[in-house]
Amino acid sequence: MLPPVRPTVLALKTPAVPRWKRSGHDVLDDSLQRLTLAWMKALPEPLRPHQCARRHPRVLNNIAALWGLPLRCIGYLDELQADRRGNRQGFGHDVAIELQRLRARRLALATKAQPAPPADFPVTQPMLL
């Protein structure tokens, strides 16, 4: 009878992960998601943020996910423009311009989408039940 085979465990050497990668970001943050690509295609060509997509895909994934929520999207775009944490490098000029254009577009769409009350409806009068 043969002696039982003992499994051998190989210690795998894990590659060093850069410090900025260990802050809880997901692997998907390193590339554009399908939703983001579809959202970019739906934008007019002059408004498409190509530089931001190339340099900061995680930021663009967040913008695309929030685009359907006007107030949250505008708030997120405002947060990107302000340094509240200190010691931040900031975006390059071309990326900052793209973000400003996206904010202006989102704001314009949000104000246009708000329906006005009908002219014959007295807004200041309470409804009787």
pLDDT digits (tens, 9 = 90+) for 36-88: 999 999 999 999 999 999 999 999 999 999 999 999 999 999 999 887 767 66
For residues 90-96, average pLDDT: 89
pLDDT digits (tens, 9 = 90+) for 68-82: 999 999 999 999 988
Residue 5 lies in a domain: no
Residue 129 lies in a domain: no
Residue 6 lies in a domain: no
DSSP per position, 37-56: HHHHHHS-GGG--HHHHHH-
Domain residues for the domain of 77 are 30-111
Residue 12: pLDDT above 70?
Answer: no
pLDDT for residue 123: 60
Residue 15 lies in a domain: no
* CB 106, CB 74: distance < 8 Å: yes
Q: How many structural domains are present in the chain?
A: 1
Residue type, 46: P
Q: What is the pTM of this model?
A: 0.67
Residue 67 lies in a domain: yes
The distance from CA 44 to its chain's CA centroid, rounded to whole angstroms, is 18
